[in-house]
Structure 1
């Protein structure tokens, strides 16, 4: 029996046990996971360093190495994220609707776990903990399939978490890591309808499209982030500069970082902003008018407008008005996060009504598109699709509903 099938069978059985746990029992298991992560920082960092060394030797780009890297602070943050979930209300058992029919039948819909969730992701070991904790809190069993680049880190993290669950109400078998990272096994996982109830891919466009195209298991799609900041003519200087720089530079290697900057042609502080970005070592690729005016701006190619750089590179363009900004975003955006900096309410409303994206911002950085920032605790991903869940996905996004019908002898005539 293959590793995949063996672990899938264990997960299916464990999912039935998970559905019966109380909130207090799940929280107990999560507290033990958080404590174990904090107590095993040295071991986790030791294993992560092996992945980092292998990645550097393989020539990984700096943004990828940043996503792969764990530090003492990042491990502590993962443990804190698990503890935050403990304080969030368990959605399982929540009544979403209830009504009584004329025939006396009382109907209610309640939230229940999805069952077995398959998580497919790249490079980022923090996702291992976030996905595991979220799935377990929502009553799901979870199969984790990370990338080979983070194999040692993921094995270390899962071994620590599984050891923590051995003496907890959560069955240790409800958490499994697929250590075989071959494409053949991944393709088999994508079609494992007998055991998996949902697949969630999290990573670059190539991974996400591969899962969508190959999977027969239902997919909860997360999206690539080609995010924009549009600075309107009425934008306040200091606010606009701060938002643009934060959206690009706070952490360039993540999906909610800005990749394109659109500036109204009559905004008077354009030069100051562009020079500030350049001085902060942002590589600027711009429209023709900007290239002619500023020697430090390279000419943007067509591909630049649609690229998720995940690096200190920014596409910049001058636009005539909010309608041109909207048209540009409609053409090149990925329906992730888009921001407008403006003091003109009509322009803000135009932007909000016309842009189709999971999260829209007025006078704020796109970097807030995050489960923890939204108050969801850890997130399992950011959905840019329109069905089931959209935006940062917390606990409710990995539950479904079932209907309970109470009668007193009714039969259909």
Structure 2
């Protein structure tokens, strides 16, 4: 038996002890994990600094280094996110309607954990804490396989969280960390369908496609975040510029950042020069369609759409009205987040109806498609496929429903 298989078996073996905890005890466990991150912040930040030094030496882009970076504020924000997870309603609550048949048989559905969830992710060490907290609060064990660029940070965060498990008399293997980046071990992990119930990959498109193609285990997919902002002819242009700046430049390396701006041709002369000036101030490079270049002298010509840059790069295309914008998004979108800026309520309603994305925003930033912002406390990932979740996955998405049938010796066949 391989060492990896033994490790996952230990994670699964810890589930009965976790499921003996009631909702209050699981909530307290997650609250204490948030406290432990603050308590252990010096060690965690030292580990993160080592990762950052290696990342910069390896020539990672500024946006990717930013995804990797932890500081005191981000770590405290992570602790707050865990506290919010602890305060959410119990995901294993019995909230289904009770049905009583004529023969007295009682039927109901209850929420149940998925089991063992494997997270395979890159760069962002906050995923280690978010994933562990969400999985445990919902009664699941987690197997965490982070990227080599965040190895020290991930291990330090996991060690802090595991100490809380041990203090509570629970197996530390409920948070199981795989710190060997060997791709052959990842292949082995993806074949353990008798031990792992769900795989959630988070990272670049290449990683997610690799996992989806090689896994025997169900996979939640999020290939990329190609998010668009469509500025309608009836938009408030000051508002549109604000949405663009927040969506593109605040944190360009995250999946809900804007990658493409679609502008109604009727307002190009008024809007594009303002866009060009503001993007230059924010050091955002522009790649624009040929018909937009007269108003964007600093832009490079662009004929490639549907690209996730994850950097200070913005694609801009002129479109002839809402129909053309919808066609572009249908062809090049990634089912992540799509935004319309308009003062026309009918156009906004049509955009919401027709756009197929996990989140559609009207006069609001793409950056709101985030578990914390949507009231989920934190998220384990954003699904851009529709089974078994669509959009940010919080606590409820980490459960399923099972039937409970209660009788008094009832038999079906008499």
Query: Does TM, scored on the shorter chain, surpass 0.5?
Result: yes
- Residue of structure 2 in register with 1:323 after alignment: 323
Assess if the C-alpha contact under 8 Å between 1:112 and 1:400 holds in 2.
Answer: yes
- Long gaps (5+) in structure 1: none
In structure 2, distance between residues paired with 1:390 and 1:170? 32
Q: Deviation of residue 172 (structure 1)? A: 2.2
Q: Paired residue for 2:244?
A: 244
Tell me, in whole angstroms, the C-alpha distance in 2 between the residues paired with 1:271 and 1:102: 72
Q: Map 1:326-345; keep pairs closer than 5 Å.
A: 326-345=326-345
Q: Is 56-65 or 232-241 further displaced after alignment? A: 56-65
Q: Which residue of 1 aligns with 2:161?
A: 161
Corresponding residue of 1:283: 285
Name the SS for the 2:260 alignment partner.
strand
Give the equivalent residue in structure 2 for 1:181: 181
Partner of 1:72: 72
Residue 84 of structure 2: SS of its match in structure 1?
helix
- CA displacement, residues 346-403 of structure 1 (integer Å, 9 cap, x when unaligned): 2112211221111001000000000000010011011111112111110000111110
Task: Give the match for residue 129 of structure 2.
Answer: 129
- Corresponding position of 2:410: 410
Equivalent pair of 1:26/1:169 in contact (CA under 8 Å): no
Which residue of structure 1 lines up, in the alignment, with residue 106 of structure 2?
A: 106
- 1:211-238, Cα deviation, whole Å (9 max, x unpaired): 1111011112234100000000110121
- Report how far residue 105 of structure 1 moved: 1.9
Does the alignment pair 1:254 with 2:250? no
Cα distance in structure 2, aligned partners of 1:351 and 1:34: 40
CA RMSD of aligned residues (A): 1.4
- The answer to whether the Cα contact below 8 Å between 1:3 and 1:180 also exists between their aligned partners in 2 is no
Q: After superposition, where does 1:349-360 map in structure 2 within 5 Å?
A: 349-360=349-360
Where does residue 115 of structure 1 map in the other structure? 115
Report the number of matched residues: 411
Alpha-carbon displacement from aligned partner over 1:313-336 (angstroms, at most 9, x marks no partner): 100011110000000011100000
- Is 1:296 matched up with 2:298? yes
What is the CA distance between 1:282 and its match in structure 2?
Answer: 1.2
**2:49 match:** 49
- Taking the aligned partners of 2:40 and 2:14, their CA distance within structure 1 comes to 26
**Unmatched runs of 5 consecutive residues or more in structure 2:** none
TM-score (norm. length: structure 1): 0.96
2:383 maps to: 383
Corresponding position of 1:367: 367
8 Å CA contact retained: 2:272, 2:295: no
SS in 1 for 2:14: helix
Aligned to 1:274: 276
Please say which of residues 241-250 and 14-23 is displaced more in the overlay: 14-23
Partner in structure 2 of residue 87 of structure 1: 87
Distance in 2 (alpha carbons) for counterparts of 1:87 and 1:353 = 33
How many Å separate the matches in 2 of 1:112 and 1:68? 33
Q: CA deviation at 1:47?
A: 1.0
Quote how far apart the aligned CAs of 1:169 are.
5.2
Aligned equivalents of 2:3, 2:377: Cα separation in 1? 31
Residue 76 of structure 1: SS of its match in structure 2? helix
Q: Secondary structure at the match of 1:397?
A: helix
SS at match of 2:154: helix
Q: Which moved more, 1:101-110 or 1:205-214?
A: 101-110
**Alpha-carbon distance in 2 for matches of 1:297, 1:398:** 44
Q: TM-score, normalization: structure 2?
A: 0.96
Secondary structure of 2:98 counterpart: strand
Q: 1:170 Cα shift?
A: 4.2
The runs of at least 4 aligned residues of structure 1 exceeding 6 Å deviation read none
SS at match of 2:96: strand
Question: What is the Cα deviation at residue 32 of structure 1?
Answer: 2.1
Give runs of aligned pairs for residues 307-318 of structure 1, distance below 5 A: 307-318=307-318
Q: Distance in 1 between the 2:287 and 2:348 partners?
A: 26
**Distance in 1 (alpha carbons) for counterparts of 2:158 and 2:69:** 17
2:209 is paired with a residue of what secondary structure? helix
Secondary structure of 2:67 counterpart: helix
Query: Partners of 1:114 and 1:358 in 2: how far apart?
Result: 22
Give deviations 1:138-172, integer Å, cap 9, x for gaps: 11111100011111111111111111221115432
